[in-house]
Amino acid sequence: MKIDLISIFPDYFAPLKLSLIGKAEQDGLLKIEIHDLRDFTSDVHRTVDDTPYGGGAGMVMKAQPWGDATDAIIENDPQVIVIVPTPSGQVLTQEIAEQLSTADHLLFLCGRYEGIDARVMTDLSARVDLREVSIGDYVLAGGEVAALVMIEAITRLIPGVLGNAASLIEESHSLVQDNQTLLEYPNFTKPPVWRGLQVPDVLTSGNHGEIAKWRAAQAVARTEKIKQVKPPEGAQ
Ligand code: ADE
């Protein structure tokens, strides 16, 4: 997968060199390219923002640098999926991450301030697949951190990126029960007793059927507690 990012803070993406994603890039599974929006400005001050039409607080990112920067990338690949992190987008889910993990090329537009001039998204969506995506119902100072979250959620689903592919299979099996997405069960490792707290006996029993049952029950209990999901009708 190729991932392009455009931002006025290219240094925000240093963590992409670390851990699984850094290794995936070294292994040739990913190619990540970071573009500085200011390289596409047209004035000596390298201006990227201006006051909003209609008044109001804050600044809006100018259309011209975004238009020129995205043109340069899209020209080489009109099939690219453009993702605009924004609190007013569709909230990221595991299903969306799974769908995006099959793409060949993603381009993230990381805006700041009060966002990007809306004409940039109108212009792009007439030419390419453009998605406005939020990582949750809260407001960040810019799209960079949100793009990092999305990239991690998406790229770990690409075959070969996770060290242990079995974790993904396990995850997808344990996540859904009775059409409900469940949270993961609690995990434990050695030693068997730590600060007086013992690992549940069932996990050291070697009985895989009982272990699976216990984990499923824990996942349901956790989900009900955290999400306050009502049990299906007719359930005891
Ligand atoms: N930019 C600012 N807040 C955001 C959020 N919650 N999700 C995605 N991008 C954002």
pLDDT tens column, 19-52: 999 999 999 999 999 999 999 999 999 999 999 9
Q: How far is the CA of 131 from the centre of ligand 1 (A)?
A: 13
87 close to ligand 1 (CB < 6 Angstrom) = yes
User: Do 132 and 121 form a contact (C-beta atoms < 8 A)?
Assistant: yes
138 close to ligand 1 (CB < 6 Angstrom) = yes
Phi-psi region of 210 (alpha: psi -120 to 50; beta: other; left: phi over 0): alpha
Cis peptide before 191 (omega within 30 of 0): yes
Whether 172 shows a pLDDT value over 70: the answer reads no
145 close to ligand 1 (CB < 6 Angstrom) = no
Amino acid at the residue 137: D
Please report, for residues 35, 49, 84, 115, 143, the alpha-carbon distance to residue 52 in angstroms, rounded to integers and kept in the order given.
25, 9, 19, 10, 19
Q: What is the pLDDT of residue 162?
A: 92
Nearest Cα neighbor of 133 from 111, 114, 155, 117 is: 111
Comparing 56-60, 112-116, 163-167, the range with the smallest average pLDDT is 163-167
Q: Report the mean per-residue pLDDT for the chain.
A: 93
Whether 178 shows a pLDDT value over 80: the answer reads no
User: Do 65 and 37 form a contact (C-beta atoms < 8 A)?
Assistant: yes
Q: What end-to-end distance do the CA atoms of the chain give, in Å? A: 47
Whether 181 shows a pLDDT value over 90: the answer reads no
Mean pLDDT of 180-198: 94
Residues 6+ apart with CB under 8 A from 26: none
Lookup: tokens for 155: 């790229």
86 close to ligand 1 (CB < 6 Angstrom) = yes
Protein residue with least CA distance to atom 6, ligand 1 = 87
- Read off the pLDDT of residues 194-228 as tens digits, 9 standing for 90 and up: 999 999 999 999 999 999 999 999 999 999 998 77
Residue 213, SS3?
A: helix
Nearest Cα neighbor of 98 from 150, 145, 147, 148 is: 150
Whether 128 shows a pLDDT value over 60: the answer reads yes
Mutation pick for ligand 1 pocket among 5, 84, 132, 134 (CB with most ligand atoms within 8 Å): 134
- Read off the pLDDT of residues 143-155 as tens digits, 9 standing for 90 and up: 999 999 999 999 9
Domains of the chain with bracketed CATH: 1-154 (3.40.1280.10), 164-227 (1.10.1270.20)
Lookup: tokens for 147: 């793009």
Which atom of ligand 1 is nearest to 139's Cα? 3
Q: What is the pLDDT of residue 230?
A: 59
Whether 107 shows a pLDDT value over 60: the answer reads yes
Whether 173 shows a pLDDT value over 90: the answer reads no
Q: How far is the CA of 136 from the centre of ligand 1 (A)?
A: 7
128 close to ligand 1 (CB < 6 Angstrom) = no
Protein residue with least CA distance to atom 10, ligand 1 = 86
Nearest Cα neighbor of 116 from 96, 92, 86 is: 86
Lookup: tokens for 45: 């001050």
Q: How far is the CA of 88 from the centre of ligand 1 (A)?
A: 8
